[in-house]
Amino acid sequence: MAHRRTRYRDIIAIGASAGGAHALSELAGGLPAELPAAVLVTQHISPRSPRVLAEILSRAGNLPATFAINGEPIERGHIYVAPPDHHLLIGQDRLLVTRGPRENGHRPAVDPLFRSAARQYSQRVVAVVLSGTLDDGSAGLVAVKARGGIAIAQDPEDALYSAMPRNAIERDHPDHVVPISELAELLCTLVQQRLRPLATNGRDTEQPIPDSAEPQGEDSSPIPVSCPECGGPLFGGREGSMTTFRCLVGHRFSPASLDQEQARNLEASLWSAARGLHERAELVRRLAREHGSGSVSTLYLDRARAFEEQAEAVVAAVQRLGSESEQYTEANT
């Protein structure tokens, strides 16, 4: 796919999470075999998930679907799926499949795909956010629109999980918001529209950009929060109108994802503290038994009871946090 001669939208990048497989299957069923665009799909999946999504999409419609291979040329009329535990990016007319830093707690993540597509293909990109929780994909849509691409969100009322498309709508104001039943027809219309050249002083400025998914010129400043993934310092910055956070090694978070990952780490730390207190209680009880029935033994038993009370207080705190987390999750699904 040549960068400079193509004047049509020929890159369709799609991001999905919970409930996305159903939406993707319905979409694949509506796309024609002669679609003049490549379709790249990132679906949040576990690293241990079976590699079945590509086969499901192939069976659902007329386009062949395969898991992306690093360095593979991009061909129109083909669906490329991010493999488990790998980001799917776009380089210069080829696919990049990497095990780069997690973003928003995920690998594969949607934002890296959208950003790399925007940087390499600018107005030739159509980016779509489907069903899912939290807000992965919102910052990526901002990048796509900033470079002249088209942003689409599934109608939240139509999605099995509404948070991802709803956050995209609130933060990016996509060009189109449609139910999944209308998406294939919309995409077919968009890829047939001829684009005006990007020009300055009569010269074409649509140039390939080095293979990278990192935004340039980001105004970052350190914040007093550590990275949930590696414990390093986090830097806050802006991607368009959206605040994002990134650590030195490249882990990146949207606000909602950072909040969720911090909550998970805090819960893990509290459970570790509760375990440590129970272990301390068990140790001093053993010491009490070794000292028989004297005053030293009584002191050890008092300490054991104190450790157990502290452990119970920590467990109660974890349960309160869990209740708050459930309320937050319900509001973001």
Catalytic site includes residue 162: no
Phi and psi torsions of 86, nearest 5°: -140, 140
Which of 10, 111, 135, 136 is flagged as catalytic?
A: 136
Q: Tell me the pairing of strands 95-98 and 87-90.
A: antiparallel
Sign of the alpha-carbon torsion through 84, 183, 253, 333: negative
| 124 phi-psi bin (left φ>0, alpha ψ -120 to 50, beta other) | alpha
| HSE-CB of 174 using CA atoms within 13 angstroms | 26
Distance CA 6, CA 285 (A): 76
The letter for the amino acid at 310 is Q
CA distances to 97, 159, 174, 288 from 139, rounded to whole Å, are 20, 20, 12, 58
Which single residue is written with the structure tokens 């159903």? 22
Which single residue is written with the structure tokens 């360095």? 71
Distance CA 220, CA 241 (A): 14
Distance CA 35, CA 31 (A): 7
Which spans in 50-129 are helix H?
53-60, 110-121
Do the beta carbons of residue 26 and residue 54 sit within 8 Å?
no
Distance CA 140, CA 128 (A): 10
Do the beta carbons of residue 145 and residue 172 sit within 8 Å?
yes
Catalytic site includes residue 17: yes
Which of 44, 87, 251, 278 is flagged as catalytic?
A: 44
Distance CA 130, CA 3 (A): 27
The residues that are catalytic are 17, 44, 136
